[in-house]
Amino acid sequence: MKFGEILKKLRNEKNMTQEDLAQVLNFKRSTVAGYETDDREPDFKTLIKISDYFNVSVDYLLGTTQIKYDFKELRAAADHDAGLADFINELIRRENLQTCSKYLLTFSNEELNKLIAVFKVLQDEC
């Protein structure tokens, strides 16, 4: 998928018009329209601004990954925890774990908290 298609999809998911998005991001409506038709390309600062607004990664916006969310906190934690970094690298490398992680992204916060509780129990048993 191209940037314009992804931007339009994200905008539609929020039930926004091009004008709505333009106002939120302090753009002209024609700028948003140009992005969505791939007639224009955003600069780096604009990509980050759009990414922050929709809470998605720049990689997702550019169509280089199907993983929508930007896990800034997770990356920051991994920078200080070699074990977590190894786990994340293994998750990325293994196809079956990628499938699992995509499924986990659909969980609500409540479901994730329950899953964490399960992992804590498993940790105590191992």
Looking at per-residue confidence, does 116 or 32 come out higher?
32
- Assign 15 to helix, strand or coil: coil
The per-residue pLDDT for range 28-61, each reduced to its tens digit, is: 999 999 999 999 999 999 999 999 999 888 888 9
Q: Is pLDDT at 82 greater than 70 in this prediction?
A: yes
What class does CATH assign to 3-62?
mainly alpha
**What's the rounded Cα separation, in Å, for the pair 2 and 64?**
9
pTM: 0.60
SS3 readout for the chain: CCHHHHHHHHHHHCCCCHHHHHHHHCCCHHHHHHHHCCCCCCCHHHHHHHHHHHCCCHHHHHCCCCCCCCCHHHHHHHHCCHHHHHHHHHHHHCHHHHHHHHHHCCCCHHHHHHHHHHHHHHHHHC
Q: Give start-end residues of each CATH 1.10.260.40 domain in the chain.
A: 3-62
